[in-house]
Amino acid sequence: MFIYLYIYLFIYLFIYRFIYLYIYLFIYLFIYLLIYLFIYLYIYLFFYLFIYMFIYLFIYLFIYLFIYMFIYLIIYLFIYLFIYMFIYLYIYLFIYLFIYLLIYLFIYLFIYLFIHLFLY
Protein backbone atom coordinates (compact mmCIF):
# COMPACT_ATOMS: atom_id res chain seq x y z
CA MET A 1 0.00 0.00 0.00
CA PHE A 2 2.80 2.44 0.86
CA ILE A 3 4.58 1.54 -2.36
CA TYR A 4 1.53 2.60 -4.36
CA LEU A 5 1.39 5.77 -2.38
CA TYR A 6 5.05 6.50 -3.14
CA ILE A 7 4.48 5.78 -6.83
CA TYR A 8 1.46 8.07 -6.82
CA LEU A 9 3.39 10.78 -5.06
CA PHE A 10 6.26 10.39 -7.49
CA ILE A 11 3.93 10.63 -10.48
CA TYR A 12 2.08 13.59 -9.01
CA LEU A 13 5.08 15.52 -7.80
CA PHE A 14 7.42 15.01 -10.73
CA ILE A 15 5.28 14.37 -13.78
CA TYR A 16 1.93 16.11 -13.34
CA ARG A 17 3.48 19.17 -11.80
CA PHE A 18 5.88 19.49 -14.73
CA ILE A 19 3.02 18.94 -17.16
CA TYR A 20 1.05 21.75 -15.52
CA LEU A 21 4.17 23.85 -15.44
CA TYR A 22 4.71 23.32 -19.15
CA ILE A 23 1.08 24.10 -19.86
CA TYR A 24 1.31 27.34 -17.88
CA LEU A 25 4.59 28.19 -19.50
CA PHE A 26 3.08 27.58 -22.90
CA ILE A 27 0.12 29.81 -22.05
CA TYR A 28 2.38 32.59 -20.77
CA LEU A 29 4.67 32.21 -23.71
CA PHE A 30 1.73 32.30 -26.08
CA ILE A 31 0.42 35.47 -24.43
CA TYR A 32 3.89 37.00 -24.56
CA LEU A 33 4.21 36.10 -28.24
CA LEU A 34 0.79 37.61 -28.95
CA ILE A 35 1.77 40.83 -27.21
CA TYR A 36 5.08 40.91 -29.06
CA LEU A 37 3.32 40.17 -32.33
CA PHE A 38 0.80 42.94 -31.80
CA ILE A 39 3.54 45.40 -30.89
CA TYR A 40 5.56 44.36 -33.92
CA LEU A 41 2.55 44.58 -36.21
CA TYR A 42 1.59 47.95 -34.78
CA ILE A 43 5.09 49.31 -35.37
CA TYR A 44 5.26 47.74 -38.83
CA LEU A 45 1.86 49.01 -39.82
CA PHE A 46 2.66 52.41 -38.46
CA PHE A 47 5.87 52.68 -40.43
CA TYR A 48 4.41 51.16 -43.53
CA LEU A 49 0.96 52.69 -43.69
CA PHE A 50 1.74 56.10 -42.31
CA ILE A 51 5.27 56.77 -43.45
CA TYR A 52 5.65 54.85 -46.69
CA MET A 53 2.11 55.58 -47.81
CA PHE A 54 2.60 59.22 -46.89
CA ILE A 55 5.75 59.29 -49.01
CA TYR A 56 3.85 57.54 -51.79
CA LEU A 57 0.99 60.03 -51.56
CA PHE A 58 3.43 62.90 -51.47
CA ILE A 59 5.10 61.68 -54.66
CA TYR A 60 1.72 60.99 -56.25
CA LEU A 61 0.37 64.40 -55.31
CA PHE A 62 3.57 66.06 -56.43
CA ILE A 63 3.28 64.42 -59.85
CA TYR A 64 -0.43 65.17 -59.99
CA LEU A 65 0.07 68.80 -59.02
CA PHE A 66 2.95 69.13 -61.42
CA ILE A 67 0.77 67.85 -64.28
CA TYR A 68 -2.14 69.99 -63.08
CA MET A 69 0.00 73.11 -62.88
CA PHE A 70 1.54 72.34 -66.24
CA ILE A 71 -1.92 72.13 -67.81
CA TYR A 72 -2.97 75.24 -65.91
CA LEU A 73 0.08 77.12 -67.19
CA ILE A 74 -0.60 76.01 -70.74
CA ILE A 75 -4.19 77.19 -70.51
CA TYR A 76 -3.20 80.41 -68.78
CA LEU A 77 -0.46 81.14 -71.31
CA PHE A 78 -2.83 80.33 -74.14
CA ILE A 79 -5.43 82.73 -72.78
CA TYR A 80 -2.87 85.38 -71.96
CA LEU A 81 -0.82 85.20 -75.13
CA PHE A 82 -3.54 84.55 -77.65
CA ILE A 83 -6.25 86.80 -76.23
CA TYR A 84 -4.92 89.50 -73.94
CA MET A 85 -1.68 90.02 -75.79
CA PHE A 86 -3.45 90.24 -79.09
CA ILE A 87 -5.90 92.75 -77.67
CA TYR A 88 -2.96 94.67 -76.26
CA LEU A 89 -1.13 94.50 -79.58
CA TYR A 90 -4.19 95.43 -81.59
CA ILE A 91 -4.86 98.47 -79.43
CA TYR A 92 -1.29 99.70 -79.69
CA LEU A 93 -1.13 98.77 -83.34
CA PHE A 94 -4.29 100.75 -83.95
CA ILE A 95 -2.82 103.74 -82.08
CA TYR A 96 0.44 103.38 -83.97
CA LEU A 97 -1.33 103.15 -87.33
CA PHE A 98 -3.60 106.04 -86.46
CA ILE A 99 -0.57 108.25 -85.63
CA TYR A 100 1.15 106.95 -88.71
CA LEU A 101 -1.85 107.85 -90.85
CA LEU A 102 -2.09 111.27 -89.25
CA ILE A 103 1.56 111.93 -90.10
CA TYR A 104 0.97 110.88 -93.69
CA LEU A 105 -2.18 112.91 -93.77
CA PHE A 106 -0.33 116.00 -92.60
CA ILE A 107 2.45 115.33 -95.13
CA TYR A 108 -0.10 114.89 -97.86
CA LEU A 109 -1.94 118.01 -96.73
CA PHE A 110 1.30 119.96 -96.63
CA ILE A 111 2.23 118.82 -100.17
CA TYR A 112 -1.28 119.54 -101.42
CA LEU A 113 -1.32 123.01 -99.87
CA PHE A 114 2.20 123.71 -101.07
CA ILE A 115 1.26 122.76 -104.65
CA HIS A 116 -2.02 124.61 -104.74
CA LEU A 117 -0.90 127.69 -102.93
CA PHE A 118 2.58 128.25 -104.36
CA LEU A 119 2.61 126.60 -107.73
CA TYR A 120 -0.66 127.82 -109.15
Q: What's the pLDDT at 103?
A: 92
Q: What's the pLDDT at 120?
A: 66
Mean pLDDT (the chain, rounded): 83
Torsion of CA 76, 82, 84, 85, to 10 degrees: 120
Q: What is the mean pLDDT of residues 43-62?
A: 82
This prediction's pTM: 0.32
